[in-house]
Amino acid sequence: MKTTIHQLTHVLSLYLNFKSTLYTIISWILIIALLNMFSGCMYYFKVKTILPPTPKDFAHIENLNKNIIIHMDDEAWELALPSLKEDSLEGYIIKKYVSTYNKPVKTKGSNRYKNRIEDNETYLLNEVHLYITEMTVFNGSKILIPLSKIERMELYEKDEAATVGSWTLGIISGTSAAAFLLIIIALATKESCPFIYTFNGNSYQFTGEIYSGSVQPRLERDDYLKLPLYDINNPEYKLKISNEVKEIQHTNLMELWVIDHDKNIDIWLDKYGNLHSVKKIISPSSVLSNSGIDATYLIKRKDSLFYSSPLKQGDLPVTDALVMEFPYQGNSDSAKLLISARNSFLLDYMMGVFQNQFGNYYNKWTKKQQRAPTPQLIGWSLDQNIPLSLYVERSGKWDRVDYFNIAGPMAMKDDILQFPLTGAESNPLKIKLEFGNMFWEIDYAGMDYSTDFRLNHITIPITSANNQKGKDVSSYLQKDDKRYYIQSEIGDNAEVAFNLPPCNNESRTIYLHTKGWYQVIHNPKGKPNIEYLKTFREPGRFNRFVNEYVQSIAYANKEKEKSQH
């Protein structure tokens, strides 16, 4: 009886998502049929193969919410703490990999797996397999794999079409897959937000993410993403907004802000929607991390080098920080800090691990969070050091003046914050960027003391917006109101076009102004420990939770090394 009720509930949830009359009729037929069933349904997974993977396919392999399996010859191992270097993948071998799946895995078509309590093979859906021909082993467990020696990559994921099709006697079929292989690993493992692609005249190029971290309706916010300008003389600007992860995205507004300006200034837009002119950027004279690492060479310019918190033995700090010194200009009454940064995949991954702690209470907790006051939600995030906080040293003490919004892990994002100079600042000017340990990756920072020019922007509304089915969705995106363009499935996307006026100055800068929020789809199992979960109300508790997880892996590696000697 329990199995039958579970099946009924599952099909009812499918029914709520079916939008056509045909699917509605079919779903009710299935509900009636399932009332007479007593055995379990059939479940299927499929293999997504990249052959051979390119460096771009590995660009976001760090800190995945998947088990990474390394195959060489006839042996296989589980890999922990993967880290991508310039031309290699590093990590730690935890143990030999032994699969209880006793059938050959087909790389084409569907593979059936068991989803019963007494014989569960759902672990297969949490695996990424790398087939290699060469690796170097250090100290018994640390390994280095040249990317050129990875022949293929395989991701195991649920085959929704085959699974649903097995329940509906072959009536219903379909596919769901991420649109772009460039970020395939990230799409299979991360929580994110809408992805933005811009059209360069030949193809769509990934540009960035919008309103990252807005995971509740009361966290809905404006977002400003700087866009590339491919042709200043082309009046048409096209982009694509796409859902490529398991979440429901609600976009309220989408428009372009166009600023024409002199060529000797750059235009930056802060989280409040304030325009800033940047004329003379000053690099930091020194950059030191909390642990004393000299990161000056990492931060002085935008490049492939960036600062991230080091993984070290022993107790890990709750927070990390970069303390920067800039030559002080006493005749200025304000300063503008410019950064290029992103969140780490570890933060993204650990949010999923944290949500797993709620077990079967997760959906109730989510609904409760949706009713929570906005200051409470933002306050918890700040208490756990998730945003990037900006401090200024005044009268020998650190004064927190503001924070940068969550940027997402997919791409470095340019951002700016302006703060007043009161005369109590140190000389040289000292600022601190503080964040949860291992939560941010910082590529660049600079300071500008110049007075902002008087700037105006032209707001460019949407000319057209058509989703993947050709439906016009522009009316949902043209105004800041309660009507949303909702992307509820992986692969949902819309091509959006704008008409730009002729440029009336030497240079042009374009920002995408959006507003929205997204709901992460998560379905953890088990009974939660409520008293344990209540401890996460404490400031810094999530940070300690992350450290405990990382240390548990480090301890397992250390014990493994001991056993080998």
Kindly report the backbone phi and psi dihedral angles of residue 417, in degrees, each rounded to the nearest multiple of 5, phi listed first.
Answer: -135, 135
Q: Can you tell me the distance from the alpha carbon of 190 to that of 195, in angstroms, rounded to the nearest whole number?
A: 13
What's the helix, strand, coil split of the chain in %, to 5?
25, 35, 40
Half-sphere exposure of 184 toward its Cβ, with a 13 Å CA cutoff?
Answer: 21
199, β-bridge pairs: 204
Q: What is the mean pLDDT of the chain?
A: 83
What end-to-end distance do the CA atoms of the chain give, in Å? 54
* CB neighbours of residue 51 within 10 Å: 10
Handedness of CA 550, 555, 560, 564 (dihedral sign): positive
Q: Which helix (H) or strand (E) holds 199?
A: strand 195-199
Q: Which residues contact 437 (CB under 8 A, 6 or more apart)?
A: 309, 316, 317, 318, 319, 320, 543, 546, 547
Q: Where are the beta strands (DSSP E) in 139-178?
A: 142-146, 150-158
Q: Which of 185-199, 391-405, 544-558 has the highest mean pLDDT?
A: 391-405
Q: Which helix (H) or strand (E) holds 88?
A: strand 88-96
Instruction: List pLDDT tens digits, range 222-242.
Output: 999 999 999 999 999 999 999
**Cα dist from 522 to 60, 158, 356, whole Å:** 21, 14, 8
Mapping DSSP to helix (H, G, I), strand (E, B) and coil, where does residue 262 land? coil
Confidence of residue 556 (pLDDT cuts 50, 70, 90): low
Confidence of residue 74 (pLDDT cuts 50, 70, 90): confident
Q: Judge contact between 549 and 350, C-beta under 8 A.
A: yes
Q: Is 457's pLDDT higher than 70?
A: yes
Q: Can you tell me the distance from the alpha carbon of 224 to that of 72, in angstroms, rounded to the nearest whole number?
A: 45
Q: Judge contact between 408 and 415, C-beta under 8 A.
A: no
Q: Judge contact between 256 and 400, C-beta under 8 A.
A: no
pLDDT at 172: 27
Residue ranges covered by each domain of the chain? 1-40, 42-189, 195-261+455-520, 280-360+386-449+529-563
Q: Is 188's pLDDT higher than 60?
A: no
Q: Judge contact between 217 and 505, C-beta under 8 A.
A: no
What percentage of the chain reaches a pLDDT higher than 90?
54
pLDDT at 273: 96
Q: If you search the block for the tokens 């660049």, which residue do you land on?
A: 444
Instruction: List pLDDT tens digits, range 195-215.
Output: 999 999 999 999 999 999 999
Burial class (CB in 10 A: 0-12, 13-18, 19+), 169: exposed
pLDDT at 61: 54
**Which carries the bigger pLDDT value, residue 420 or residue 18?**
420
Confidence of residue 441 (pLDDT cuts 50, 70, 90): very high
The number of helices, as runs of H, and strands, as runs of E, in the chain is 10, 32
Residue whose C-alpha is closest to residue 271's, from 351, 337, 319: 337
- Size of the chain in residues: 565
Q: Can you tell me the distance from the alpha carbon of 391 to that of 426, in angstroms, rounded to the nearest whole number?
A: 12
Q: Can you tell me the distance from the alpha carbon of 324 to that of 446, in angstroms, rounded to the nearest whole number?
A: 10
**Which carries the bigger pLDDT value, residue 155 or residue 333?**
333
**Which carries the bigger pLDDT value, residue 15 or residue 109?**
109
Confidence of residue 160 (pLDDT cuts 50, 70, 90): low
Residue whose C-alpha is closest to residue 381's, from 439, 445, 342, 320: 439
Q: Judge contact between 307 and 298, C-beta under 8 A.
A: yes
277, β-bridge pairs: 267
Q: Which residues contact 509 (CB under 8 A, 6 or more apart)?
A: 226, 229, 258, 259, 261, 266, 267
pLDDT at 67: 78
pLDDT at 197: 95
Structure tokens at 210: 């919008």
pLDDT at 263: 92
pLDDT at 18: 36
Burial class (CB in 10 A: 0-12, 13-18, 19+), 22: exposed
Instruction: List pLDDT tens digits, range 371-425.
Output: 999 999 999 999 999 999 999 999 999 999 999 999 998 889 999 999 999 999 9
* CB neighbours of residue 134 within 10 Å: 11
Q: Which residues contact 405 (CB under 8 A, 6 or more apart)?
A: 212, 213, 221, 223, 271, 387, 415
Q: Can you tell me the distance from the alpha carbon of 216 to that of 126, in angstroms, rounded to the nearest whole number?
A: 26
Mean pLDDT of 420-437: 95
Mean pLDDT of 108-112: 82
Q: In the 8-state DSSP scheme, what is residue 282?
A: B
Instruction: List pLDDT tens digits, range 242-289.
Output: 998 889 999 999 999 999 999 999 999 999 999 999 998 999 999 999
pLDDT at 59: 60
Is 2.60.120.260 the CATH number for 280-360+386-449+529-563? yes
Confidence of residue 557 (pLDDT cuts 50, 70, 90): low
Longest CA pairwise span in the chain (Å): 82
